[in-house]
Amino acid sequence: MTMPGEMIAAAIQMVSGDELDANLACAAQWVARAAAAGAELVVLPEYFYLMPADEGARVELACAPGEGPIHRALAQMAARHRVWLVGGTLPLLSPQPGRMYNASLLFDPDGRCRARYDKMHLFGFDDGNERYDEAATMMPGDAVAGAATPWGELRLSVCYDLRFPELYRQPPAPALISAPAAFTHTTGLAHWELLLRARAVDNLAFVIGAGQGGRHAGGKRTFGHSMIVDPWGQVLACVEEGEGMALARLDLDQQAQWRRRLPALQHRRLA
């Protein structure tokens, strides 16, 4: 039970495999657990639906907005459990054959899609041992997105976006930031918590980072450490590796107090 000025959020951590139905069933179980624990806002990780050895396998699942089994499953989860649900990411058709939009959708408790954000910053990394090139199978989005919720503006973002703080500075100022991710173990070990806490402090916002956390088909290892960070940069909850759920009570009155005491959002002078 939450008091006025509070809400409970959950960041779901998964170790998704290469079977769509199994991944959707796993996500549904975790959303149910989060709702049973009192969560009103639940965030699933990036690629919760599929972590294949062949990155191109996701493109084959791409559908038009509002269509396909992944969208239907997310809408049903939100409506069944009466939660606001950030559907991690799902693949949507793009104008270019062989490439998809990596989209994060926000569903309300009636199962309606309230916002769509296409990942703007596509991850690229090559240290001689590991190599990633999302641009080979993805189209970048071109617009910041979010939606009004009962707890304030929620800004949608995905994984690599955390390295681009200007995305979160676009008005209206977010009270909440969702960051579904599949950070590699290499980059996550170095920067994941640092980036989440920095974005929370930058924006005096709650940040909900839901990640993949383990070994996947083809040997890829993701960092996990899904966490919820408060506007003062404090980690409220964290699950390190494997499947799990970071659950935290968010004190919105305290957030308003911090914003009054340190009006950094009003002091910003660069457009």
Catalytic residues: 46, 119, 159
Other beta carbons within 10 angstroms of residue 267's beta carbon come to: 7
139: Cα separation from own chain's centroid? 18
Does residue 70 contact residue 49 with C-beta atoms inside 8 Å?
A: yes
Distance (Å, whole) CA 170 – CA 203: 11
The tokens 């058709």 sit on which residue? 93
Buried b (16+ CB within 10 A) or exposed e, 148-186: ebebbbbbbbbbbbbeeeebbbeeebbbbbbbbbbbbbe
Length of the chain measured in residues: 271
Query: What residues are paired with 6 via a beta bridge?
Result: 251
Handedness of CA 128, 129, 134, 136 (dihedral sign): positive
Report CA-CA distances (Å) from 15 to 69, 79, 181, 260.
Answer: 20, 24, 12, 40
DSSP H helix total and E strand total for the chain = 5, 16
SS3 197: helix
CA 124, 18, 51: angle at the middle one, nearest 5? 25
